[in-house]
């Protein structure tokens, strides 16, 4: 099943994505839908057809938990050792944009970098999860690009300031439930970034050091994960900052982020 949040003339709506179009699911967005105990049944039910433009698949998640250094090739290109535990940081909702919205290139930086990532969305409250509970808590997966302002990221040892600039993080186009994916809650999907027609990143999500189930288990030990919360699982090698010389996103670039089976974000880069 594929779900999305669309923008209509009457506000956002949660929809089921079908070949013939969008089916209204009676909720304002996918996050609101997932908060319902019977969300899966509601998502499968008949509804009115509706039209609109794609918004971030979860526009206002209560938490956006990000994972750094989670593909071995990327860890090596950044000059680091393989981690014993997940490296966690956060984003705020103002960073999120839809799968076709402009990525804002901040006036204060020329070091805007791409990071294609698999994102998971929580579908039920979960705390102190074992492997089975963690797997059951994953509603589905979507495409994300953790666009990063590198010079701000490395101003201090904490990354937050470079990771959550407003209107920089595409999330979408769809939420795809695990039953439709090879590997289920540990999906095995090709992931890539294309900038200006040139492939910059390519890997497989099966190469994650800490897979989605492990990340839910770890994060739920720290705090309760709620429906609609998003965990962004990390990026593979090929980021612009690690190139020699570095290559960053420029005004007028088109940033394409693809994960097989989940869809494609295609975002123009525009100077803020």
Domains and CATH numbers, the chain: 1-55 (no CATH), 56-271 (3.90.850.10)
Location of structure tokens 């705020």: 92
d(CA 217, CA 227): 15
| pLDDT score for 75 | 78
Calculate ∠ Cα 260-265-269, nearest 5°: 145
d(CA 221, CA 62): 17
pTM: 0.96
Neighbours of 222 (CB within 10 A): 11
- Would you say 237 and 192 are in contact if contact means Cβ atoms under 8 Å apart? no
d(CA 201, CA 32): 33
| pLDDT score for 74 | 76
d(CA 27, CA 21): 17
Low-confidence spans in the chain with pLDDT less than 70: none
Helices (H) and strands (E) in the chain, counts: 7, 19
| pLDDT score for 82 | 83
* Alpha-carbon separation of residue 57 from 2, 132, 172, 191, 224 (angstroms): 11, 25, 5, 18, 21
| pLDDT score for 80 | 80
Calculate ∠ Cα 240-84-124, nearest 5°: 85
| pLDDT score for 120 | 98
């Amino acid at each position: 099943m594929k779900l999305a949040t669309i923008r209509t003339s009457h506000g956002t709506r949660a929809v089921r994505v079908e070949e013939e179009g969008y089916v209204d699911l009676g909720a304002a967005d996918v996050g609101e839908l997932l908060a319902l105990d019977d969300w899966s049944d509601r998502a499968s039910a008949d509804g009115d057809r509706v039209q609109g433009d794609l918004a971030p698949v979860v526009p206002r998640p209560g938490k956006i938990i990000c994972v750094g250094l989670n593909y071995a090739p990327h860890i090596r290109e950044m000059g680091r050792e393989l981690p014993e535990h997940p490296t966690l940081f956060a984003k705020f909702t103002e960073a999120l944009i839809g799968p076709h919205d402009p990525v804002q290139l901040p006036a204060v930086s020329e070091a805007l970098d791409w990071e294609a990532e698999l994102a998971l969305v929580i579908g039920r409250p979960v705390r102190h999860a074992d492997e089975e509970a963690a797997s059951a808590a994953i509603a589905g997966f979507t495409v994300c690009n953790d666009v990063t302002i590198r010079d701000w990221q490395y101003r201090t040892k904490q990354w937050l300031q470079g990771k959550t600039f407003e209107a920089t993080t595409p999330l979408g186009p769809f939420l795809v439930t695990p039953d439709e994916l090879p590997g289920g809650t540990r999906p095995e999907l090709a992931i890539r970034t294309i900038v200006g027609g040139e492939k910059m990143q390519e890997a497989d999500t099966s190469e994650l050091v800490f897979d989605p189930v492990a990340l839910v288990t770890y994060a739920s030990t720290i705090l309760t994960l709620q429906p609609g919360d998003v965990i962004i699982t990390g990026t593979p090698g090929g980021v612009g900052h690690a190139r020699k010389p570095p290559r960053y996103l420029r005004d007028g670039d088109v940033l394409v982020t693809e994960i097989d089976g989940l869809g494609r974000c295609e975002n123009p880069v525009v100077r803020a």
